[in-house]
Structures are given as C-alpha cells and as structure tokens.
C-alpha cells in the first residue's frame, strides 16, 4: 500500500532558511551560501521521507518565498516595473517582486485560502509575454534523483494559477484571466517535457481553487486545460491534488473526468462530505490519494478511525489504487516534535508535527497492506483516550460563562456617531489623526533581553527596567515625529498571539514549533488544548507605564479573540466558535481592566478575521455571525468615551465589508497600499462607512521608504471616497519587521503628508 506527502515545511527544524534569507537580504552572505543552506534542507527532507518509507515524495515544494511566486517566475510573468530583460530569473528580480526595492514597490501579498500562509499575487493582462524563465521544477527533480530519491514534481496547476491572479494595473478589472490559458499552457508543456526527459514518472498539479464555488465557465477551464495538456502528459502518471474543503458535486464531476489524469487527491479532514461523492461515483481504474492525516493541525491522528475510513475506501477503489496521504501540505504545521524539550509528557503524547505525520501516513499504509504495527497503534489509542479524559481539558466555570452568552448580541448601548463625538471631546484630535498599528522594530538588543529573561539570566527587575527604557524610546520618537495617538511598541512581545496565549489558561507552548507565514517570517502558534480563561491582567502594567510617559493618548494593544483562534493550533474536540467565545470573555476582562487603568484608546486587533472565512459560501454566514459577535463581546461594556480600534491586514476584505461594519468598532485600520488600494473600491461603489477608518498609506513589508508626495496622493484618493472627519492616517501594518533606519523616515513622511493635507483642507474652506 502506497503513501504520499502533499508538501513539507521549508524553513527547517531550527528556521535555518529564515536566517539564511535574512543574511542574504542584509548583504551578509552570498547567493551561493543561501543556495547551499536550501540544498542541505531539501536533501534532509527527501532523505527523511524516504527513510520513513514514503513512496510518493514531493519535489519543487521548496520555495524561497512562495510557490505561486515560483510559478510566476517559471512563466516569466514579471511586471515591467522590475526591469527584467529575459533569461533565467535570478534572486534580484525574484525578491524585488516579493519585497520591492529602493525604487519600486512589491507585488500584492494576500492569504493562501483560509490559512495564515501568504502568497504574492500575480499581475497579469493581455500584453504579458510569457516565457519559460525558471527551470527550478526540473532542477530540483534532478537534484533529488542524484541523491537517489525519485520524487513527484509538484506544480501549481494552470487554472488555479490564473484564478489566484489579478488584472495588472491599467488592465480592465473585468479582464478574463482565464483567457490567458492558451498562453501559459505551452510553458507548462515545456516543463512537462523536460521532467519526462529527466525520468519523472509522476507529476502533481495542485488545483486547490476547484474546491471553491466556481461557475460553469471556470469549471470548463479545468476541462480545457487538461485536454490541451493530455498529449504532453502521455506516459506520465498525473495526480491532481485538491485541499482545504469539501469539493462541490459539479466540481467533483469535472475533476474526475479530466483527460490524461491518473489520480485525484482529496482533503478528507476538512472535506468529510467528499467521502459521499467518492462512494457514489469515483471513476474506475483511477488512483485515490486519500488525505486522512491533517496537514493543518498538530493533533496526533486517530489511527483507528482513519484506518476504518481507509478500509471503506479500499472497498470502493481497490487495494492497488488507494494511496494514504496528508490532507494538504505539511507546510502549515510545525516541523518536528523531537525538538520540543519543554512540553510536558501528557500534552506531548497528544501531538504530531510534520515529521510525526510522515510516520503516521506510512503506519496507516503499512496497516492497510496487512503489516500493522500493533505497538504503534496501541500507543496512539492510549494517547487519544488520555486526551478525552484529562481533567486539564475542561473548566466547568468557563463552559458555564460561555453558555450564558446566548441570547444577547453584545452591542454597545450608543451608536458609533454619538460615541465618536464623545471621544473627540475627550481626545481633542486633529483632522486626519496619525497613528501606527502597534509594534515597532524588534532590535537584536531587545530580542537578547527577552531571551535572557526567559533563560533566567537576568532578574525581573532588570527585565522591567530594560523594557521600560525601550518603551520610553519609542514614545519619545513618536512625540518627536508628532504622531497623534501613540503606541508603546510592544517590546515585551515576540509575537502578538503567543504573548497572550502564554498568559491564558488552556494554552500550551512550543520551543521550536515555528510555521512559515511568508518569506522569512515565521510564527509559533500556541496550542489550545483546553478551556480558556484569564487568570490575571496581561497588558495593564505595560500600557499604564507607557501612558505615564506622555500626555498624548496611548493605545492599549490587544489581540482579538478571532485572531488568537485563527493563529493558534486549535483543539478539535469542540466547535471552533465555542473556543472563540471563551477567548472573547478573557479579552473582555482585559479591556475593562485597561479602561479602569485610564487607557482611553484600546486596539483589539482582528488581523485574521477574514482569514478564517470558510471557502464555501454556504458556510460563511454562520462563521461571520460568531466571529463578529466574539469581537463585540470584548468591548460591549466600555463607556462611550473609550475609543475601540481594530486592525485587519493582507486579505480581501471587500466581500465582508458589511460584517466589518457590524463589528461596531469606533476606528478600523486596514491594509490598503500593498493591494493597490483595492479596499477603496467598495466605498466608490456606494458602501457607507460612518466609523473612523485608516486605510494604510504605505506598505511596511517592503524596505522601500515612500515620499511625502506619494503618501499625500494616497490620502487624497481616500478623501475622494471617505469623509474627512472619519479618516485616519497610518501604515498598513505593524513595524516589527522593519529597521529604525526605514521606520523613522517613512513615519516622518507620513506625518508630513497628513499635515500638508490638513493645511490644504483648511485653506479650501
């Protein structure tokens, strides 16, 4: 019985690729050194899977930024502003598209479906001259083969690539991206031809967009594309992989009828209804790659339950046509549980990271083939039973408090217009008030202080003194820049979710459970294993200290319940909304304590609210209802003069704008500049927004420093569709990933632009 892994984490068990990328970007190491680190990581990953007994091992899933950008490079679809003149695309062009450079901005970045992973959005139009410009897929296949590992090269499928793209600037918004199929398929044919010549016997096309609610025109594109590729694919086994949701019935029919395709992969963890479609009409003679091991969470697989599912599928497709697989790429989970030395044994027994999931996949395949490892299955069953019965999972008082939420929609008593008037009397802000989103640069010295405090190398007094000094530095800088509403810079926090999770009950933490978010950016999601409550205040001490350093308003900075949920590894033994309500009650306690401490502006970030939106439209209304309700729970008890902010970033918000309005925040700051001000289009189309709003005026994920004129131009575009009295001026997102040499001039220009516009508005009266 065969086994398969859809994809694997790239960063390395100790984030080796992250540090190599950042060293290269800083000019401290060469391209050759970066390539060596990545080659060593690939080699170890392939060897690990081969040693574990995996038959179908993926290649070309390793990316220096993301797999969609790799495909853009493969197709030579480089926007003209990057000055690429043909030939093999090198690091300069590749990273300029991802990060921008001194003279041009980066391409848009957005979330990969409903995950916290990001990709660079292709910019396409009728005039793009596609060409085969990156041979990475073939070179990685050859690289693995030279090491004695025959892999399955993975490509982002042609239809999903186009559906994930956007019309380039200057191209009509209604331009049919799918009309470009005939232009990109010749390049796919070249890649396929080279892979065949190199000896590949299997090829995997990832077509995750087919799980979305697609119309007949878009579904026909899959039929057309694979019909066109059929002759090129002759002689190869072809797997089309889908993931992240149930596949709709019409899409299932389209997929399983594709010409030249040998095998179909399905996510049977998030797509449990797909099982019914498979049982009813899976095509005879085709391979089924059954994704029964969860690629998006860290809980050990219930091997007995998975084996029961697999036995049922075996009866449908036949023993020789069933392949055990992960539900999606393991990119979305942590790398190896072996590196976790501080987790207690009970919780550790409940978990499986990527390396352990590889073993689980192979154990299930062996069991199906009649070689069941009874000892391994027995240990797994004991861990499943332990988790169900452990007293640390359940807190009766928390469950009662969450249950009592039913029956109220938890809205503030006064409407937002009246609240804004009351807040303005108290805060006395100018028009176009300036602020930042929360974090300031995390310097090497600051990271050292936190590290030494955690390792007990410095005392608590020394730690508090160092953090207060950093806060004071950030406060003074903002005052010098003349920013209106300040932040304390979050020097005590390594991560906006981890920081809160460490102080809430029901959470566990890893030492090396890093997961890639984008580029070199990694996050370490907390593990929610039980009921959630807040034993003590979490931010009041630092926010009060910061407010005491200035007469200007100081924002209290919190992460919202939906974002904490979506950026954690969440327990799978109760509905997600129940866990979210528990977190909301904890944040509500914190909000009210901040208010009592004299903090008049409180930001409750919901950066990940859009990210959690289910992919299928039929499931979206329920999610938005409980997600928005959770946010309102956090601040329903504050007085009118307390101003509640929220922040969202790097997702497509236009389709949920009415839910954002329903959150009833006083001010929302939202990513806007990197996505070419796409957000503003909803206001041009007539959506009325009465609360304060700060669409970002510059992209913080690029080292590029925008000019005063450029920022003023962005603000003017906002003023064309938004009222002057509700508009705020702020960057797209927090500043922790930037250097002070970039932050200071960018913020200086931002404030100058706001003042310039204030003067112009005053003189126009």
Binding residues for L-methionine: 437-439, 490, 605
In the three-class reduction of DSSP (H, G, I as helix; E, B as strand; rest coil), residue 10 is classed as: coil
Contact 435, 730 (CB under 8 A): yes
In the three-class reduction of DSSP (H, G, I as helix; E, B as strand; rest coil), residue 95 is classed as: helix
Taking Cα atoms as reference points, which of 582, 632, 639 lies closest to residue 606?
Answer: 632
Taking Cα atoms as reference points, which of 670, 654, 656 lies closest to residue 620?
Answer: 656
Separation of alpha carbons 477 and 727, rounded Å: 23
Bridge partners for 244 per DSSP? none
Separation of alpha carbons 764 and 598, rounded Å: 38
Separation of alpha carbons 329 and 311, rounded Å: 23
The DSSP output letter for 489 is B
Structure tokens at 192: 């396929």
The DSSP output letter for 736 is T
What count of other Cβ atoms lies within 10 Å of the Cβ of residue 418? 12
Q: Can you count the helices (H) and strands (E) in the chain?
A: 27, 22
Residue linked to tokens 């509640």: 644
Burial 290-312 (b: 16+ CB within 10 A, else e): bbbbbbbbbbbbbbeebbebbee
Which sequence positions are flagged as catalytic?
A: 701
Structure tokens at 475: 């406060």
Taking Cα atoms as reference points, which of 244, 273, 306 lies closest to residue 613?
Answer: 244
Separation of alpha carbons 518 and 674, rounded Å: 15
Contact 195, 151 (CB under 8 A): no
Structure tokens at 464: 């508090």
Cα dihedral: 265, 267, 268, 273 (round 10): -100
Separation of alpha carbons 489 and 503, rounded Å: 19
643-648 and 569-570 as β-strands: parallel, antiparallel, unpaired? Answer: unpaired
Find the angle CA(292)-CA(296)-CA(301) to the nearest 5 degrees: 40
Radius of gyration, alpha carbons of the chain: 26
Binding residue numbers for 5-methyltetrahydropteroyltri-L-glutamate: 18, 116, 521-522, 567
In the three-class reduction of DSSP (H, G, I as helix; E, B as strand; rest coil), residue 532 is classed as: strand
In the three-class reduction of DSSP (H, G, I as helix; E, B as strand; rest coil), residue 59 is classed as: strand
Handedness of CA 176, 177, 178, 181 (dihedral sign): positive
The helix (H) or strand (E) run that includes residue 602 is: strand 601-605
Bridge partners for 166 per DSSP? 123
Find the angle CA(32)-CA(65)-CA(696) to the nearest 5 degrees: 130
Binding residue numbers: 18, 116, 437-439, 490, 521-522, 567, 605, 647, 649, 658, 662, 671, 733
The DSSP output letter for 573 is S
Residue linked to tokens 């929610």: 528
579 Cβ partners below 8 Å, 6+ apart? 528, 532, 565, 570, 571
Please provide the DSSP assignment of 432-485 as one string. Answer: S-BB--SB----HHHHHHHHHHHTTSS-HHHHHHHHHHHHHHHHHHHHHHT-SB
Residue linked to tokens 């469950």: 399
186 phi and psi angles, rounded to 5 deg: -60, -35
Cα dihedral: 341, 342, 346, 348 (round 10): -50
């Amino acid at each position: 019985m065969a086994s398969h892994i859809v994809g694997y984490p790239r960063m390395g068990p100790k984030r080796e690729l992250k540090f190599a990328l950042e060293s290269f970007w800083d000019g401290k190491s060469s391209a050759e050194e970066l390539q060596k680190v990545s080659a060593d990581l690939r080699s170890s990953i392939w060897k690990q899977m081969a040693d574990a007994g995996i038959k179908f091992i993926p290649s070309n899933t390793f990316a220096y930024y993301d797999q969609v950008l790799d495909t853009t490079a493969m197709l030579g679809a480089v926007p003209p502003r990057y000055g690429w003149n043909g030939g093999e695309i090198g690091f300069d062009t590749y990273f300029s598209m991802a990060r921008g450079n001194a003279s041009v901005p980066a391409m848009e970045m957005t979330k990969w479906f409903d995950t916290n992973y990001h990709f660079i959005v292709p910019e396409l139009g009728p005039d793009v001259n596609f060409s085969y410009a990156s041979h990475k897929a073939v070179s990685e296949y050859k690289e693995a083969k030279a090491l004695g590992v025959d892999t399955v090269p993975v490509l982002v499928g042609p239809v999903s690539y186009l559906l994930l793209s956007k019309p380039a600037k200057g191209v009509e918004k209604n331009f049919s991206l799918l009309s470009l199929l005939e232009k990109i398929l010749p390049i796919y044919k070249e890649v396929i031809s080279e892979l065949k010549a190199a000896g590949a016997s299997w090829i995997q096309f990832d077509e995750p967009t087919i799980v979305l609610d697609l119309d007949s025109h878009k579904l026909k594109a899959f039929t057309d594309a694979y019909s066109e590729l059929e002759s090129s694919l002759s002689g190869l086994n072809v797997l089309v992989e889908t993931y992240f949701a149930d596949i709709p019935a019409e899409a299932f029919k389209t997929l399983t009828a594709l010409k030249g395709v040998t095998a179909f992969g399905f996510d049977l963890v998030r797509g449990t209804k797909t099982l019914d479609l498979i049982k009813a009409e899976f095509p005879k003679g085709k391979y089924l790659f059954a994704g029964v091991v969860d690629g998006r969470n860290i809980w050990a697989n219930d091997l007995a339950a998975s084996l029961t599912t697999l036995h049922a599928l075996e009866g449908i497709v036949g023993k020789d046509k069933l392949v055990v697989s992960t539900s999606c790429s393991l990119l979305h989970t942590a790398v190896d549980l072996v590196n976790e030395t501080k987790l207690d044994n009970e919780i550790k027994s409940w978990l499986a990271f990527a390396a352990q999931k590889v073993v689980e996949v192979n154990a299930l395949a062996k069991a199906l083939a009649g070689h069941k490892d009874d000892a391994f299955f027995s240990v797994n069953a004991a861990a499943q039973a332990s988790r169900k019965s452990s007293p640390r999972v359940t807190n009766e008082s928390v469950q009662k408090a969450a249950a009592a939420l039913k029956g109220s929609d938890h809205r503030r008593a006064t409407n937002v217009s009246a609240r804004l008037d009351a807040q303005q009397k108290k805060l006395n802000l100018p028009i176009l008030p300036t602020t930042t989103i929360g974090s300031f640069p995390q310097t090497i010295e600051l990271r050292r202080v936190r590290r030494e405090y955690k390792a007990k190398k410095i005392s608590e007094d020394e730690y508090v003194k160092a953090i207060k000094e950093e806060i004071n530095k950030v406060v003074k800088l903002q005052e010098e820049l003349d920013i209106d509403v300040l932040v304390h810079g979050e020097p005590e926090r390594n991560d906006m979710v981890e920081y809160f999770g460490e102080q809430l009950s029901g959470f566990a933490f890893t030492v090396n459970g890093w997961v890639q978010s984008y580029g070199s950016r990694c996050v370490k999601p907390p593990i929610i294993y039980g009921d959630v409550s807040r034993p003590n205040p979490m931010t009041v001490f630092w926010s009060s200290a910061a407010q005491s350093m200035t007469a200007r308003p100081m924002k209290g900075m919190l992460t919202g319940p939906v974002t904490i949920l979506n950026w954690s590894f969440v327990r799978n033994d109760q509905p997600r909304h129940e866990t979210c309500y528990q977190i909301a009650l904890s944040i509500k306690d914190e909000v009210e304590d901040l208010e009592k401490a004299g903090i008049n502006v409180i930001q409750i970030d919901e950066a990940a609210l859009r990210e959690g939106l289910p992919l299928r439209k039929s499931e979206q209304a329920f999610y938005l209802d409980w997600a928005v309700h959770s946010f309102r729970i956090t601040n329903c008890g504050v007085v009118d003069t307390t101003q509640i902010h929220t922040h969202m970033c790097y997702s497509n918000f236009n389709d949920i704008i009415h839910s954002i309005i329903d959150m009833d925040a006083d001010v929302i700051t939202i990513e806007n500049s990197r996505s070419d001000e796409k957000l503003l289009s909803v206001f041009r189309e007539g959506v009325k927004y009465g609360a304060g709003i700060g669409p970002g005026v510059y992209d913080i994920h690029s080292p590029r420093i925008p000019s005063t004129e450029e920022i003023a131009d962005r603000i003017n575009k906002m003023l064309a569709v938004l009222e002057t009295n509700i508009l705020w001026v702020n960057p797209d997102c927090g500043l922790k990933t930037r250097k002070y040499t970039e932050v200071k001039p960018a913020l200086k220009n931002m404030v100058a632009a706001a003042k310039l516009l204030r003067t112009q508005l005053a003189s126009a009266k």
